[in-house]
Amino acid sequence: MKVAFQTLGCRVNVFDSEAMSEMFLRDGYELVDFDERADVYVINTCTVTNMGEKKSRQHIMRAKRKNPKAIVAVVGCYAQVQKEEIMAMEGVDVILGSRNKSDIVFYVNKARVEGKQVVQVTENLILNNKFEELNIADYEGKTRAFLKIQDGCNRFCSYCIIPYARGGISSKEPESILKEIRGLAKNGFKEVILSGIHVASYGQERKEKTDLLDLLFEIEKIEGIERIRIGSIEPMFFKGEAMQKLRRIKKLCYHFHLSLQSGSDRTLHRMNRRYTREEYRGVVSLMRESLPGVSITTDVIVGFPGESLEEFEETMEFLKELKLNKVHTFKYSPRKGTPAFSMENQVDGKEKDRRSNFVIALSDRDEASYTKELVGQESEVLFEEGKDETYMGYTRNFIRVKVTSPEDIKGQIRSVRILGHDKALAIGELV
């Protein structure tokens, strides 16, 4: 029996798909590409934007065209919030919510044996705290590993469907995480990336509290791991003593994705973001003072309901002032079930496109400018890929670097002198 996966959305979904793939392999299935004919197609869906849902529906139809007799399983966030819509679609055999994925093989086999649609969507997501164990074999041939340490969110930003799709915060057992990282270290991995829906909330719901900082200090002790990287994180995580503690973690990579969403206080208020532009500015300044060479990237949503031209210009001026390393731009997508969906003064689609283009152009300039500043410096680079004596890797602050080497340096951390750049790509030589 053959199984194929199509994964949409975030890094957490990617991790979940890898875990589900391992479950099928253990049950005797063969894993094939989604474009091949398979007996089971799994679409791990995203519902953050309308486009995510549209792509999910397209992949469902593609799967059924590939093999009309195949079992089609739709899982994840779209299934969680729109199960009735998916139930009505022709050819869907299994529908599993965000936290029902760990039993996917059972439900797929059940649908095949019984010949009828199986729907399993847990409504009270906060009660389901399952985390799949990492299988080191899944990471063969890779140099760094993404680890899902947290799921869910309690923030309820007015535009975001995630708290409804993935439920409240839940954290993986610290000892399970440390055990997995020790296994990665023994297998030659040098870098781990800690990911989740709201990583900063790690451990907050647990009685015996181990927070994110505690976890970082424990990972720091693991021999063989040379880099610890954190995924997207809330700006206010860096308040209080957090910065002093972070400076003591020598293996921590000074690259942080610090969500902004808007540079206008009025827009931030409507978004239900829990900081002001002044507070965000203060965090960026503190990070740059405390963490030498820190790279800060961010997200910005353009065209949020009620975002006037003046508010958008406030965001542009704020971004010009901060000169962040990269800005990921998203056009606001109305999500039914969120407060923003029914807000007045929805912004026209063409105007969203126009504003998005302005932010992208600014981001491209700032990204190239930051890379240019590295010319003449030396940096440690973890090389991940190589072909015909050309190797690519990343610095600790997540700048992509290209070098030429007659020896195979994949998987190695090497010192590189930056000689030049091509836009955001640094070009260097081994030292």
Q: Which of 347, 372, 397 is the last residue of a domain?
A: 372
- Alpha-carbon separation of residue 117 from 7, 131, 377 (angstroms): 21, 26, 60
Distance (Å, rounded) from C-alpha 150 to C-alpha 130?
10
Residues 206 and 149 in one domain: yes
384-391 long-range Cβ contacts below 8 angstroms, 24+ apart: 384/142, 384/143, 384/144, 384/410, 384/411, 385/410, 386/410
Q: Is position 284 within any domain?
A: yes
pLDDT above 70: residue 104:
yes
SS3 state of residue 15 = helix
Residue 127's pLDDT is 47
pLDDT above 90: residue 130:
no
**Total domain count for the chain?**
3
Residues 194 and 310 in one domain: yes
pLDDT above 50: residue 27:
yes
How much is the mean pLDDT over the chain? 92
Residues 184 and 274 in one domain: yes
What does the DSSP assignment read for 273-298?
Answer: -SS-HHHHHHHHHHHHHHSTT-EEEE
pLDDT mean over 166-190:
92
> What is the CATH classification number for the domain harbouring 38?
3.40.50.12160
Domain that holds residue 8: 2-123
Q: Is 0.75 topped by the overall pTM? A: yes
Residue 138's pLDDT is 52
257 forms bridges with which residues in the sheet? Answer: 297
pLDDT mean over 130-142:
60
pLDDT above 90: residue 136:
no
pLDDT above 80: residue 110:
yes
Query: What is the tens place of the pLDDT at every residue in 379-421?
Result: 999 999 999 999 999 999 999 999 999 999 999 999 999 999 9
pLDDT mean over 326-350:
94
CB atoms within 10 A of CB 144: 17
Residues 339 and 269 in one domain: yes
pLDDT band at 18 (very low <50, low <70, confident <90, very high): confident
> What is the CATH classification number for the domain harbouring 426?
2.40.50.140
Decide the pairing of beta strands 30-32 and 40-45: unpaired
Residue 146's pLDDT is 86
Q: What percent of the chain has pLDDT over 70?
A: 96
SS3 state of residue 79 = helix
Residues 264 and 320 in one domain: yes
Where are the strands (E) in 281-376, listed by range? 295-302, 326-331
pLDDT band at 209 (very low <50, low <70, confident <90, very high): confident
Of 390, 386, 394, 400, the residue nearest 144 (C-alpha) = 394
Q: Is position 130 within any domain?
A: no
Where are the strands (E) in 77-189, listed by range? 94-96, 118-120, 144-148, 150-151, 170-171
CB 199 within 8 A of CB 233: yes
Q: Is position 128 within any domain?
A: no
Q: Is position 58 within any domain?
A: yes
pLDDT above 80: residue 145:
yes
Residues 232 and 209 in one domain: yes
Residue 393's pLDDT is 96
Residue 137's pLDDT is 52
Q: Which of 77, 96, 123 is the last residue of a domain?
A: 123
Residues 401 and 339 in one domain: no
Burial degree of 428 (CB within 10 A; 0-12, 13-18, 19+):
buried
- Alpha-carbon separation of residue 345 from 156, 178, 264, 329, 341 (angstroms): 21, 48, 16, 21, 11
Of 365, 356, 295, 309, the residue nearest 331 (C-alpha) = 356
Q: Is position 131 within any domain?
A: no
Residues 21 and 144 in one domain: no
> What is the CATH classification number for the domain harbouring 289?
3.80.30.20
pLDDT mean over 12-36:
92
Of 47, 98, 99, the residue nearest 334 (C-alpha) = 47
> What percent of the residues of the chain are helix, what percent strand, and what percent coil, each to the nearest 5?
40, 25, 35
pLDDT above 60: residue 141:
no
CB 14 within 8 A of CB 7: yes
